[in-house]
Amino acid sequence: MTVQAARQIPYALPLIGDAEIAQVTEALRSGWITTGPKTTEFERRFADYVGASHGLGLNSCTAALHLALLGAGVGPGDEVVTTPLTFCATVNTIMHVGARPVLADVDPRTLCLSPERVAQHLTPRTKAILPVHYAGCPADLDAFTRLAADRGLKVIEDAAHAIGTLSRGRPVGGIGDFTCFSFYATKNLTTGEGGMLTTEDQDASERLRKMALHGMSRDAWKRYTNAGSWQYEVEAAGFKYNMTDVAAGLGLAQLDRFDHMQAVRARYVERYNQAFKDAGFELPADSDLPGDRHSWHLYVLRLDPMQLAIERAQFIDELKAAGIGTSVHFIPIHLHAFYQRELGVRPGDFPVTERAFSRMVSLPLYPKMSEDDVDYVIERVLEIASKYRR
């Protein structure tokens, strides 16, 4: 019989308060529960926050990635270089547009896509580079934009973890050709489900806005308002990717207090780092480039096998027994049988990624945690580390 721990700290919980409830209630009472004025306001305010000229609210980051690839002109016969240390959506969307994902290993310091490795994988078929800001750590965008400029390529950023990330002092969101954000329930800013595509390219923004709503002519959603018309034109075989006003209401409230929530995350990260720095772990990857700032979406601790005589799976089980939820980010793309068949990759191809993956555990990190919750996680982690110290 399994005995449940007296204290339970889930891996992740959203911070939802009266402001979020009020925004959603307002949307429900307004009659606009799908795409409407709150979505438009959220697009504008979010784009302003990340320093982008154009923002397109969507139902997921996956939708943003798909549209970004289309906006970059990626299609059958093309290649897109990306990282094996990512969620499957990054690679799947490349396949959705008929292109081939080409994997390159990560930087051992940041765990983001390595510019040096990318350069080794560029071919005449390469159309875009797709870095992931892993865990919220900024990828080396300067290096990627130089590579892209030299070869006429597009840079598409997977910023699912990177709301609040800075690269050389600039917010992630207005740097690459296209940037894709996630507002999933576990993210630093949540709309429940949702995403945003930002770009400086006005023509692409207008074209992709149509593609996000069935390929219908611009502002077709207004056809049910006094300002709209029943007439519309279908201009392309588009998709159903639009954001709802209910989701956007959540996003607006979250954006109002986003800086505060980020400050809480940073404070908890500092406490974790101080507690774990000499306890048999490798601390989370970070950038040491000037002007870079981590958004701390994830706190990824790595076990040091030279200091700790415990396997990752057992470490997770012992934390679970103590009531602490964890996760692993991510099972690398090339270790999945599907991608081995489709892409011809295999274990051993990306040694930096594999070595990091074999030892990593993501600990709870979110502003809904209390100081006591953080104390409890620290105490239990240190107890396990002490028990299995070599």
Active-site amino acid positions: 187
- Distances in whole angstroms, Cα of residue 158 to Cα of each of 63, 162, 177, 239, 248: 12, 8, 11, 20, 21
Query: Residue type for 260, please?
Result: H
**Residues 6 or more apart whose Cβ sits within 8 Å of residue 1:** none
| Full DSSP string of 20-55 | HHHHHHHHHHHT--SSSHHHHHHHHHHHHHTT-SEE
- H or E element at residue 302: strand 299-303
Name the one residue in this structure whose structure tokens are 């784009």: 47
DSSP lists the bridge partners of residue 167 as: 170
- CA–CA distance, 62 with 54 (Å, rounded to integer): 18
- CA–CA distance, 214 with 77 (Å, rounded to integer): 25
- CA–CA distance, 42 with 245 (Å, rounded to integer): 9
